[in-house]
Amino acid sequence: MHGVLLLDKPYGASSNQALQKCKWLLQAEKGGHTGVLDPLATGLLPLCFGDATKFAQRMLDADKRYVATLKLGATTTTGDLEGEVLQTSPLRPDRTAVDEAIAHFTGEYEQVPPMYSALKHEGRPLYEYARAGIHIERPARRITIYAIEVLSFSEDELVLDVRCSKGTYIRTLSEDIGARLGCGAHLSGLRRTETAGFRLEETITVAEFEAMTLAERDARLLPADSLLADLPAVTLDAAATDKLTHGLSVRFPSEDGTIAGLRVYGDTGSGQTSFLGLAELLDQVLYPRRLLSTVVHS
């Protein structure tokens, strides 16, 4: 079972719970998710199975897009609606103040990761320290907010469409916007809508996936090379394919001196062109970097 499932993760389930459920439904031996969505978040969660897991790391590095709902006038211990209320404020911003705050956080900025996160400190996730009442100093990380659009705005609620780089914590962004507005805010809803070229409209819910037959579930999987769609591709003849799939380098004349990542296709004996995996081009020589186990020869 090899491929990628675009899941609409349900509210309340952890990313790992969603993965294990779908892994069981597919009867797959190997699976992994491509970046954690908190239990309170919903939306696009690409799941990789079989050989597709070899390329999952690229998804972790991809840009993301979210619809974030901010509750104005209150801060919480966790930065979202799961935590206890810390402070409340009767102040409410007008649209001009909202637009100014959004503009302030658009572009690069130094963001401090939240205590309630899975980031590790001395081998333990930060949320374990937070639950124990222990505060850990966290260095700020440079992230990029490409764009923020106001989808709706009322006295107590602000809904934003956010496009951002990897490593962005929308809970922290919500708190920072609330602090900038002077009234405080916390995240009351989060839905991921895009990542690495995949869109929410392409997803399937757990309930829909469960209602399918095993053959229908298998047919729902995208091929492993869909994770590499942004990379240039090359196709090898039968002789070069045989060498590469034995772990050998292949002479490949090209005007490009170095290409760090290439999708490679070739004839594996079926008479049809098949996806082989990931390779690197250095000085007109193609080196295998990560090949599908189904095409690697012993």
> Annotated active-site positions, please?
38
Assess contact for 17 and 38: CB atoms under 8 A. Answer: no
Is the separation of the CB atoms in 67 and 160 below 8 Å? yes
Q: Among all chains, which residue has been given the structure tokens 């004349």?
A: 253
Tokens 């309340």 sit at which residue? 12
Determine contact, residues 153/165, Cβ cutoff 8 Å. no
Q: Which two tokens stand for residue 13?
A: 């389930």
Task: Identify the CA nearest to 65 among candidates 41, 29, 32.
Answer: 41
For the chain, what is the radius of gyration of the CA atoms? Answer: 23
Whole-number Å distance between alpha carbons of 202 and 193? 10
For residue 105, the tally of other CB atoms under 10 A from its CB is 17
Sequence-separated (6 or more) residues with CB below 8 Å from residue 128: none
Largest CA distance in the chain: 73
Q: With the CA atoms of 168, 170, 176 and 180 taken in that order, what torsion angle do they form, in degrees rounded to the nearest 10?
A: 120
Distance in angstroms (rounded) separating the CA atoms of residues 25 and 281: 39
The values of phi and psi at residue 127, to 5°, are: -65, -25
Cβ count within 10 A of residue 124 = 12
Distance CA 175, CA 156 (A): 14
